[in-house]
Amino acid sequence: MVPVALGLGSNKGFGGRSCLEILGGAVAALADVLEGLECSSVYKTRAMYYTDQDDFYNMAVLGFAPDALDPLLLLQKTQGVEARFGRDRSQEFRNGPRSLDIDIELYGEQTINAEALTVPHPRLKERAFVLVPIVEILAKDADNIKWKGLGSAQIAELRVACSSLRGQGIAQHLDADAFYAYIKEEPYGTRNVGTNKVP
């Protein structure tokens, strides 16, 4: 099992679903892909890079990729979830509005430089909307046991980078406990999220 960190974001609805409903559905879908999934709070964030658009709702999830789920296969899975919730890359522009964006931020301690995927995400350390949610989840594991596969040095670097980005216009919208309760209701109905089990 390899610990994985994903960043999720949404700033437009799809199929009658709000951004929050899309995030809930995406997390429920990801619970079938990764084991021991844990969620951060949901944060409302001012758009970066291209600012003439609605605010984003952002969060992170950490979980464990089964041994058969290599990084490129995980990418296929996450892109499939994006498509299910309305993402169509042919109809969007870089850093523009989207119904769902899922980025693979970390895959264990691996460094990946493939044409389709770069890990750690190249802009991870400049994005409070990614770092704050990831560090929030890591903070629950004070003894660095569950997520030790991310590497103590890498975790320390994330915490340092996060502390320098607090002024980026990110505010908690829904805390993690409330989000867990939300996604365990219909239509999501998943019970595989929020476990403290270490695979």
The CATH number linked to 163 is: 3.30.70.560
Asked, for residue 188, whether it belongs to a domain, the answer is no
17, 84, 89, 103: which is the annotated catalytic residue? 103
CA atoms within a 13 Å half-sphere pointing along the CA-CB vector of 168: 26
Q: What is the per-residue pLDDT for 124? A: 87
Does 58 map to a domain?
yes
Question: pTM value?
Answer: 0.88
> Is 87 considered catalytic here?
yes
Averaging pLDDT over each range in 17-21, 39-43, 184-188, which range is the top one? 39-43
Tell whether 132 is covered by a domain.
yes
Judge whether 147 lies within some domain.
yes
- 190, 183 contact by CB (below 8 A): yes
Q: What is the pLDDT of residue 168?
A: 72
User: Which among 67, 88, 98, 159 is annotated as catalytic?
Assistant: 98
pLDDT in the model for residue 182: 80
Residue from 87, 89, 94, 191 carrying the catalytic annotation: 87
Q: Stretch 37-41: mean pLDDT, rounded?
A: 94
Tell me, yes or no, if 143 is annotated catalytic.
no
Q: Is the pLDDT at 197 greater than 50, yes or no? A: no
Q: Give the total number of structural domains in the chain.
A: 1
* Bigger pLDDT: 170 vs 105: 105
Task: Tell me, yes or no, whether 138 lies in a domain.
Answer: yes
pLDDT for residue 195: 43
- Say if CB 169 and CB 46 are below 8 A apart: yes
Domain for residue 36, yes or no?
yes
Let me know if 101 is a catalytic residue: yes
The string of pLDDT tens digits covering residues 133-143 is: 999 999 988 77
> What ranges make up the beta strands (E) of the chain?
2-10, 35-39, 42-45, 56-65, 101-107, 112-113, 118-119, 170-174
* Chain CA centroid to CA 175, Å: 15
In a domain, 18, yes or no: yes
The whole domain housing 65 covers 2-183
Does any domain span residue 39? yes
β-pair partners for 172: 43
Q: Which residue has the higher pLDDT, 84 or 88?
A: 84
Q: Is 191 tagged catalytic?
A: no
